[in-house]
Structure 1
């Protein structure tokens, strides 16, 4: 039987989805060479939004969600797709699933084309890491924690879609290389970036949303790819260590700061939602001890408090490049974003699978 709390969350989910679809670019903030607010564009924020919508479709079977995804991709294909890079790869993750649903050969052809690029043409750092190329910037020699979510999940999915283990092994390699250079050994959290050119972690920022890409991404990655058990244990041990530190640094409100270890930085909703989702799912799957569930529930409630009556998720930081100073992270403006809506959606949908106190 559906409880009143579940009914309320279902209604809120619809509002969050509607607002994700309706977000429009803000001329004050949208001064970068790409469009990262409106769902009408093809970039990483839209890719994160599409994936959350697909997971909600699989949970509910709602045909209107599937129809929206089909129409979105068909419109983009008709307009012509952008150049390939780490961030523009993100929507391709959802397209692998959409192909399985609809068996549209156009989708498979695109998946093959972009997968081949990732495997064979994507610029690399030393040790074969995916260089974090973005629209307008090659970022030579740079590893960013964002890459795991934006491209590596897609690569893993291509392994399953094509029944080609080389894609899976490449995804494993990318996780290991990124964790090798981005893990802070003192805390178990992840630095935003590493440069092989200058050999440093920039401002040594333990950035909230960047960490959330790991927390939220790993629990789905393990559903996507059959990886060696030793690697699986290693990745989960990294998640557990991260979760312990997150529990320690969670604000009284349930949120996390945009610089996780810096209480003078503002609290940020998309990271908090990503942590809530990842920890809740990890507990449900047995990846984390149930003792972590109250941490995730507290975070979920904090995210709910950031959603207004229309379904707009507030307190979300704008797109954030690797910064040379910690202050640069504190100065990133707050603005409703597709990934804020989608990460809240992920947390809300996952919460429906858990018994929560009324």
Structure 2
């Protein structure tokens, strides 16, 4: 299966009617479809296929009323396509909505005592004073893109500070990789799981954020150093088959495809924008991940080996019990890796 045919199959599977299927139902306003939309935009920018852009526009028109529900950090993700749609279509509504949400994030979004965005979710559950790696991709990416759209140094500085505080709180100084979460009340990493998909959200999100805010703020050496340590640590945990275990320092755990794809994408994207130096070790890591991920795509475009929605679990071994099933974030992270790899081939 070529990269082009695989990507076509994956995005087609994402846009079929999956009503009532939590993992694959794109017509909801939450993080799961949000990741799918971010990936579809990435795919459009790599291919310029008009049908992909048309789908994104139609999606916003059909689902925009759902955005008026409660504002939570984890459901900001769908808004991340709005800055690009404003630029592509020159429709003021996308810009106005992006500014509205950015202002809410700056002024009203719950924060921990370290000023990190508290990881709030749409489900009826609270994670008081908790910082999760997921937030970097689900919310900070949107803020960075809106900063770029409107030329706001205020938004850019907030996005930068959020990246720095998430890295400083979550990074394992010994291995360089990230723990899933941090509890500000107990001042610990809770179960202290080096969860692969948590690392993928940051590995993939940070280069996208840096690319948008770099014209507005100076990227400090600390960010480059910490991100470089993250990528070096991730490369060390890659398994011989090209994937990462769902908890990466437990190679006996099952391989997790969405996180593996996100890490592969992040490494490639970070090299492309100069956030990390390109080298043979990282090129080889991405190619091995890409080959392994391609093997998980069925003929009808469904990605297998994706773990379900995962809060910070009470123990490391509980992560091994998370069931695997198709999801839009699995499809999306794979599509982003495919699109970035297609772009590399073309360039």
Deviation per CA, 1:35-89, whole angstroms, max 9, x where unpaired?
A: 4431111111111111111122122221111110011011112455331111110
Specify which of 100, 103, 118 is matched with residue 116 of structure 1.
Answer: 103
Specify which of 320, 339, 344 is matched with residue 310 of structure 2.
Answer: 320
Specify which of 328, 332, 336 is matched with residue 322 of structure 2.
Answer: 332
Contact kept? 2:269, 2:340, Cα under 8 Å: yes
Label 1:102 to 1:314 Cα distance change in 2 as closer, same or farther (>3 A): same
Structure 2 counterparts to residues 254-269 of structure 1, below 5 A: 254-269=242-257
Match of 1:302 in 2: 292
Q: What's the CA shift for 1:209?
A: 0.4
Q: Could you tell me how far apart the structure 1 residues matched to 2:186 and 2:233 are?
A: 28
Specify which of 59, 63, 68 is matched with residue 76 of structure 1.
Answer: 63
Task: Output the TM-score relative to the length of structure 2.
Answer: 0.94
Contact kept? 1:36, 1:43, Cα under 8 Å: no
Deviation per CA, 1:221-249, whole angstroms, max 9, x where unpaired?
A: 12211264452x32232222222222222
Q: Confirm whether residue 352 of structure 1 aligns to residue 342 of structure 2.
A: yes
Contact kept? 1:82, 1:88, Cα under 8 Å: no
Q: Could you tell me how far apart the structure 1 residues matched to 2:167 and 2:307 are?
A: 24
Q: Confirm whether residue 97 of structure 1 aligns to residue 84 of structure 2.
A: yes
Q: Could you tell me how far apart the structure 2 residues matched to 1:106 and 1:354 are?
A: 34
Specify which of 6, 17, 21 is matched with residue 12 of structure 1.
Answer: 6
Match of 1:290 in 2: 279
Q: Could you tell me how far apart the structure 1 residues matched to 2:181 and 2:270 are?
A: 25
Q: Across the two proteins, how many residue pairs are aligned to each other?
A: 342
Q: What's the CA shift for 1:108?
A: 2.1
> SS state of the match for residue 51, structure 2?
helix
Where do 5+ consecutive residues of structure 1 fail to align?
none
Where do 5+ consecutive residues of structure 2 fail to align?
none
Match of 2:93 in 1: 106
Task: Output the TM-score relative to the length of structure 1.
Answer: 0.91
Label 1:23 to 1:340 Cα distance change in 2 as closer, same or farther (>3 A): farther
Label 1:269 to 1:25 Cα distance change in 2 as closer, same or farther (>3 A): farther
Specify which of 145, 162, 165 is matched with residue 157 of structure 1.
Answer: 145
How large is the RMSD of aligned CA atoms in angstroms? Answer: 1.8
> SS state of the match for residue 87, structure 1?
helix
Label 1:23 to 1:199 Cα distance change in 2 as closer, same or farther (>3 A): farther
Specify which of 54, 78, 97 is matched with residue 67 of structure 1.
Answer: 54
> SS state of the match for residue 194, structure 1?
strand
Structure 2 counterparts to residues 32-47 of structure 1, below 5 A: 35-47=22-34
Contact kept? 1:269, 1:340, Cα under 8 Å: yes
Match of 1:133 in 2: 120
Specify which of 36, 41, 45 is matched with residue 49 of structure 1.
Answer: 36
Q: Could you tell me how far apart the structure 1 residues matched to 2:319 and 2:338 are?
A: 27
The structure with higher relative contact order (CA 8 Å, sep 6+) is 2
Match of 2:267 in 1: 279
Contact kept? 1:23, 1:337, Cα under 8 Å: no
Contact kept? 2:112, 2:184, Cα under 8 Å: yes
Q: Could you tell me how far apart the structure 2 residues matched to 1:120 and 1:79 are?
A: 22
Q: Confirm whether residue 190 of structure 1 aligns to residue 184 of structure 2.
A: no
Label 1:196 to 1:267 Cα distance change in 2 as closer, same or farther (>3 A): same
